[in-house]
Amino acid sequence: MPTTDEAMLPGVTVVVETFLLGTTGGRLTYRTASRALTDDEHPDAVARALAGVAADGLLHSTSWRFASGRIVLTYAALPDPDPGSATVVRAPGQTLAAGDGPLSPSPGRVDADDVAVHACRHLAFLRRTDPVVKASAARHRVLWDLLDEHQPAVAGLLRPA
């Protein structure tokens, strides 16, 4: 049985994608940085390098997906050290990407806005349940107040019929 640091799928490209969350003009923003993982790298280390956040920031793995023949591991990092050219996060309450049903969990199409909103909802949930995330929130109140506008949710949350 391989350890967690060994490749589980030889020959499959794994991409580390980091969503840097920040604020500009009182609005929540994101930008992305990504690159393929090499055989000897840990995804956390690649995400940390891509993020470039300060020591008082936060890096958290939020999701993964299969896209274009690759496994994409997504991380959220905050606060964004350079949010000036970032995209504004879609307003809370808008429809999220979802699968067709309980046995088809993957949406047909997932865009960057969908991933950003999912990360925001995930972090809003963790702020209430994880002491490390809660401590980060206390250090970056303006950013976390904007994150809290997103309905807290865990990954894979099923909606009632």
Q: Where are the domains of the chain?
A: 14-81+111-147
**pTM (2 decimals)?**
0.84
Query: 3-class secondary structure for the chain?
Result: CCCCCCCCCCCCCEEEEEEEEEEECCEEEEEEEEEECCCCCCHHHHHHHHHCCCCCCEEEEEEEEEECCEEEEEEEEECCCCHHHCEECCCCCCCCCCCCECCECCCCCCCHHHHHHHHHHHHHHHHHHCHHHHHHHHHCHHHHHHHCCCCCCCCCCCCCC
Mind listing the pLDDT tens digit for each residue in 12-55?
899 999 999 999 999 999 999 999 998 789 999 999 999 998 88
